[in-house]
Structure 1
Amino acid sequence: MTTLTITAKGQITLRKDILRALGVSPGDKVDVHVLPNGQVTLSRSRRSGSIDDFIGVLHDKATRPVSIDEMNEAIAAGWAGEQ
C-alpha cells in the first residue's frame, strides 16, 4: 500500500512507480471513480478516437525534420493509442 500526502492546495503527487503501473506519462489523462464506500479507483483514460484526441498528438515530439514514412507511423500510433 502507498500513502500519499495531500498538499495545502488539496493536491496529491503520484509516485513514478504508480504512474508506470497505470501506463501514463505527463500529459495523459486518468479517470477517477468515487465509490459509495469512500474508496476511489484510478485508471488510465482511454482515448475516444475523436479528432480532438488526434490534434496535437505530435506536440513536443518533433525535434528534427522527419520523413513522410515517419509521420505516417506516428499518425498510426497516435490513432491506435500507442503514444
Structure 2
Amino acid sequence: MNTSTIDAYGRTTLPAAVRSAVGVKPGTKLHWHLMPDGSVLVRIKTKSILELAGSLPAPDKPVCIEDMNPWS
C-alpha cells in the first residue's frame, strides 16, 4: 500500500509508484470527489474539452435549436 502524509499547509506528495502507474507529471490537475459513503475519488484531468472537437460526425442536415431542446 502507498501512503503519504498531509503537511501543515494541507499538502501531500503523491507516492512515486502511484505517479508512475497513472502517468502524472508536474502540472497535472487532480479532481477530488467526496463520495456519499465518506470515500474520496481522485480523478486525473489530462484533457481539455477542446480536444474532443471533431470526434463526432457532423449531422446529415442542420438541426434547429428547438429540435435540440429536450423539454420543448
Fold-level match, TM-score > 0.5?
Answer: yes
- 1:50 alignment counterpart: 50
Deviations 1:18-68 (A, max 9, x none): 1112221111112221111221111221412438xxxxxxxxxxxxxxxxx
Using structure 1 for the length normalisation, give the TM-score.
0.51
Structure 2: where are the runs of 5+ without partners? 52-72
Question: Which structure has the larger Rg over C-alpha atoms?
Answer: 2
Paired letter, 1:24: V
The percent of aligned pairs where both chains have the same amino acid is 37
- The residue type paired with residue 6 of structure 1 is I
Give the helix-richer structure, 1 or 2: 1
Query: Alignment length, in residue pairs?
Result: 51
Q: How does 1:2-81 map to 2 (within 5 A)?
A: 2-50=2-50
Alpha-carbon RMSD across the aligned residues, in angstroms, is 1.9
> Helix, strand or coil: the match of 1:50?
helix
Kept in 2: contact 1:4–1:14 (CA 8 A): yes
Aligned equivalents of 1:8, 1:41: Cα separation in 2? 22
Instruction: Report the Cα offset of residue 3 of structure 1.
Output: 2.2
- Where 1:26 maps in the other structure, the secondary structure is coil
